[in-house]
């Protein structure tokens, strides 16, 4: 015999992460009719900030949200808050099997995955079932502030770049963020051939961690990355690092005009938007120019070191 779910609606806060306005309104109205306290956001990055600022019991995340997809959003929330303090995370997706395949071999980021189209009664049942086995709400509230503070302190700790204390800065350091292995290694090889120190990353969340800890002078980021797209990476770097400390950032995309048209902030967030092509000399000129004009004096000295080694000015 299946027991009735606990009536948790009156004391439960829910955040909906959904970019489809109609879907958001329907979901919000349905859950509000059940007595839940409901708020909404339209993209993954905004959701991370909102969860950080609020005290939510449940976050319903559409898998196909922009900037950071649903899985990337859930993993970042879990990364910052820890499993014992984070809210219940539930995915909404038209392709539940695909999402489960993406999660295979890893510890699930979600408490439940719900296929679209959903019905309100089933959604209510799943939410309450997840809350029944979630950590005690009072204990979660008590631990939340400490855990979140610790999480953001880890992201906000800016390491000293070699050269920051007037010691030898060494050559300029570049991070290449690209999920296509052949393109990633090609870009790394070309830049290493110019005398730069080059490291690589394959996804956006990994890249943010590397940027925070790696003291890079410049980042080349493919715009179309899994989970976090290039714009989400750049926005997080802008939010987490002071202008004088953060690296210059170049977005690489096959469709720069489309990126500028669809993402109005792209030209303000990135230092440059470059087209994917075989004109690697043009890309090298852009890298050199941005490093020479960097607000960080250490980066300017680092590129001067590379140019001196190459016999250029």
Average pLDDT of the chain is 79
Contacts 24+ apart (CB under 8 A), 94-97: 94/63, 94/64, 95/63
Which token pair is 217? 């002078």
Q: What is the pTM for the complete model shown?
A: 0.60
Q: Mean of the pLDDT values across residues 276-299?
A: 88
Q: β-strands 88-93, 173-177: how paired? A: unpaired
CATH number belonging to the domain at 9-155, selected among 3.40.50.2300, 3.40.190.10, 3.30.2130.10, 3.40.50.2000: 3.40.50.2300
pLDDT at 4 over 60: no
List, as own/partner pairs, every contact residues 142-151 make where C-beta atoms lie below 8 angstroms and the sequence separation is at least 24, other chains included. Answer: 143/84, 143/85, 144/55, 144/81, 144/85, 147/81, 147/82, 147/84, 147/85, 148/52, 148/80, 148/81, 148/85, 151/79, 151/80, 151/81, 151/82
More confident residue, 159 or 36: 36
CATH placement of domain 162-310: 3.40.50.2300
Same fold, 9-155 and 162-310: yes
How do residues 131-170 score in pLDDT, each as one tens digit?
A: 877 764 443 443 334 444 444 455 445 556 776 677 777 8
Residues 267, 233: Cα–Cα separation, whole Å: 14
Find the mean pLDDT for residues 118-143: 70
Residue in this structure with the two tokens 């939340």, named with its chain if needed? 144
For 62, the enclosing helix (H) or strand (E) is strand 58-62
Cβ–Cβ < 8 Å for 173, 214: yes
CA angle 176, 46, 49 (to 5 degrees): 95
CB of 91 closer than 8 Å to CB of 61: yes
CA–CA gap between residue 141 and residue 305 (Å, rounded): 51
Q: Please report, for the chain, the start and end positions of each structural domain, with discontinuous segments joined by +.
A: 9-155, 162-310
Interatomic CA distance for residues 36 and 124, integer angstroms: 10
Q: 56 and 182 in contact (C-beta within 8 Å)?
A: no
């Amino acid at each position: 015999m299946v027991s009735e779910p606990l009536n948790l609606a009156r004391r439960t806060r829910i955040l909906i992460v959904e970019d489809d306005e109609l879907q958001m309104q329907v979901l919000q109205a349905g859950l509000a009719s059940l007595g839940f306290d409901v708020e909404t956001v339209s993209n993954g990055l905004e959701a991370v900030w909102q969860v950080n600022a609020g005290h939510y019991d449940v976050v319903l995340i559409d898998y196909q949200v922009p900037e950071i997809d649903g899985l990337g959003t859930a993993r970042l929330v879990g990364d910052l808050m820890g499993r014992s303090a984070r809210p219940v995370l539930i995915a909404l997706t038209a392709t539940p099997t695909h999402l489960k395949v993406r999660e295979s071999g890893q510890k699930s980021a979600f408490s439940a995955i719900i296929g679209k189209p959903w019905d309100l009664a089933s959604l209510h049942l799943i939410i309450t079932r997840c809350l029944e086995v979630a950590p005690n709400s009072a204990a979660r509230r008590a631990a939340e502030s400490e855990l979140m503070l610790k999480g953001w302190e880890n992201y906000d700790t800016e390491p000293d770049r070699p050269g920051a204390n007037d010691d030898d800065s060494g050559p300029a350091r570049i991070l290449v963020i690209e999920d296509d292995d052949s393109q990633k290694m090609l870009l790394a090889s070309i830049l290493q051939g110019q005398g730069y120190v080059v490291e690589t990353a394959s996804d956006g969340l990994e890249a943010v961690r590397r940027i925070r800890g790696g003291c890079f002078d410049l980042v080349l980021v493919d715009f179309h990355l899994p989970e976090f797209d290039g714009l989400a990476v750049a926005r997080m770097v802008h939010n987490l690092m002071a202008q004088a400390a953060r690296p210059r950032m170049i977005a690489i995309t096959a469709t720069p005009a489309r990126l500028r048209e669809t993402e109005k902030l792209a030209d303000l967030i990135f230092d440059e938007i470059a087209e994917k092509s075989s004109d690697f000399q043009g890309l090298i000129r852009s890298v050199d120019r941005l490093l020479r004009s960097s607000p960080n004096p250490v980066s300017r000295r680092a590129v001067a070191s590379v140019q001196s080694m190459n016999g250029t000015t």
